[in-house]
Chains A and B, each alone.
Chain A
Amino acid sequence: MALPQKESSPIFSDATAGTLRLIAYLALAAILMVLDHRNGWLHRARYFTAAAIVPIYKIAAAPADWVHDASTAFAQRSALIDENRQLRETLMLAEARLNRMGAVAHQNERLKQLLDTQHLLGMHAQLARLIDVQLGPTRDRVMLNVGADESVRVGQVVIDSHGVMGQIIETLPHASVAMLVVDPDHAIPVMLARNGLRGIAHGTGDPDQLVVPNLPLSSDIKPGDQWVTSGLGGRFPAGFPVGTITELRHGSSGMFLEALVKPAAELQRSGEVLLLRDQPDPVGPPAPAPEVGPPSSLAPTTAAQKPVRAQPAAPPATPPGDAP
């Protein structure tokens, strides 16, 4: 660099002025942080500057998209064929289940009409794509490409084809931010698909793990069990898979069990997600899950597990018929 400039910055000149200025800026930053923490100014600032910000996100996400496109373009043909076959199988299975579900749903609707309640089965959803940018130091929040102008509202539930991903926490005019279920700030009311045991699943910050604390030591629960949303609280509709239990351990107090859960949704990979339109909220708590009474094998099973559970239940009915 040019030598003359060196004279203008000897080692200890302007020290006091610089320090004073630093202190002023530190104070300003501290004030901003406190105000933002209290009033959520950042959200408003982001809303008004969104016209400039969202294109920046798109640019930042572009390389990741290119990498994804390139990996698709150069993927092995055999891998693609395999994937295609697998998807076809899954689709067929899903359709078969859906057909069976259709009948049940129809019947359910009729019964509910008879009971004169709101019907909750009609599910309005909106397709959205992830904009692949990193918000904050951890990846517990994702950005979607639809926003307030597409009538997305804060609190809507985000799901993918495997389960619940999270919920919308912030909307911009043409983008929105969703908090994933693994965010440490997130909690979701769940129940065990097998027997209706209720709990609350908290995020841990680890993208592969949720934790359901405070389960009674005596509860009927084992690794491999599936948690589904319980619908309590009215935010998440009931019956969507949340995750499977990988490990059970004693909580820090030793009085309760703690279940470590692997999220059902593909949080790392989902490119397209569904936004559920707000459901017609049931007023008051929904009907309690069938926890007491006859053994769980005889009890009516929950909605999500019906197609799977119905299968093992059927064979025992036939052998006695065949035997005589």
Chain B
Amino acid sequence: MNRVYAQGWAFWIGIALALLLMLMPLPAMIQPLKPYWPALVLIYWSLESTDRVSIGLAFCVGLAADLLNGALLGDQALRLAVMVFIALRFRSRLRFFPMWQQSLAVFLLLLNNHVLQTLIRAFAGDPAMPALSWLAPAVGAAIWPFVFLMLDDVNTRLRGKGARAS
């Protein structure tokens, strides 16, 4: 029971941190390269446990992100729902990939997400994003191993502690 609670906390804190990181400004030069943090955290949790992340939850996180970001309401909700759907669908394969293949898969997921974003912005009549932002999925894939190892470490510790406590 304890372990489930601890994991739940870790999950929500991770989501909150990802949303904060999304809002946080970077120096203007590397601004377009900023990885899409909420997506990375959601991918990790959809690989890690079956029952934690669902399409509906991704949708709600996306809505919260839209509300914070001030962009079109429903934009990120749609993109995150698609992303989590794909991640869950291929979950059993992705989990046992070696790290570099997993990174590649994350790159493809993020690239797909970027294409969707470009399409949605085009439909909404918003101006196109800077060309440099097409590198953001690559940056996301490059830091994926670190994100994965860090979240995994936190997760393992919590599980160990929870198991001892219960």
Contacts and interface: CB of A to CB of B under 8 A. Distances in A.
Contacts of B138: none
9 closest A-B pairs by CB: A32-B74, A29-B78, A60-B23, A184-B127, A36-B73, A33-B74, A42-B73, A29-B74, A22-B85
Interface of B: 19-20, 22-26, 28, 31-32, 34, 48-50, 55-56, 59, 62-63, 66-75, 77-78, 81-82, 85, 88-89, 91-93, 95, 117, 120, 124, 127, 129-130, 133
Interface in A105-144: 132-139, 141
Given A46-B67, A56-B20, A134-B25, A10 B92 contact: yes
Nearest to A137: B129
A53 B68 contact: yes
A9 B91 contact: yes
A319 B95 CA distance: 86
The main secondary structure of chain B at its interface with chain A is helix
B70 A46 contact: yes
Given A29-B74, A56-B20, A136-B69, A5 B49 contact: yes
A18 interface: yes
A109 B106 CA distance: 66
A15 interface: yes
A26 interface: yes
A28 B59 contact: yes
B75 A25 contact: no
A124 B25 CA distance: 31
A77 interface: no
Contact of A135 (B20, B70, B72): B70
Nearest to B77: A29
19 contacts: A1-B95, A5-B50, A9-B50, A11-B92, A25-B78, A26-B81, A28-B77, A29-B75, A36-B74, A37-B124, A42-B67, A53-B68, A56-B19, A59-B20, A61-B23, A136-B69, A136-B70, A205-B127, A205-B130
A22 B48 contact: no
The main secondary structure of chain A at its interface with chain B is helix
A93 interface: no
Contact of B70 (A25, A28, A61, A177): A177
B82 A207 contact: no
Interface of A: 1, 5-6, 8-11, 15, 18-19, 21-22, 25-26, 28-33, 35-37, 41-42, 45-46, 49, 53, 56-57, 59-61, 63-64, 132-139, 141, 170, 177, 184-185, 205, 207, 268
Contacts of B56: 21, 25
Contacts of B81: 22, 25-26, 29
Nearest to A34: B74
Given A33-B78, A46-B67, A57-B23, A18 B73 contact: no
B78 A56 contact: no
A22 B129 CA distance: 27
Given A29-B74, A60-B24, A22 B55 contact: yes
A64 B25 contact: yes
Contact of B78 (A30, A53, A64): A30
Contacts of B129: 137-138
Contacts of B85: 18-19, 22
A56 B23 contact: yes
A34 to B, nearest CB: 8
A49 B73 contact: no
A26 B78 contact: yes
A35 B77 CA distance: 14
A42 B66 contact: yes
Contact of A45 (B67, B93, B117, B120): B67
Nearest to A45: B67
B28 to A, nearest CB: 6
B124 A33 contact: yes
Contacts of A134: 22-26, 31, 34
A31 B73 CA distance: 10
Contacts of A22: 55, 81-82, 85
B20 A42 contact: no
A42 B95 contact: no
B66 to A, nearest CB: 7
A138 B74 contact: no
Contact of A25 (B22, B50, B55): B55
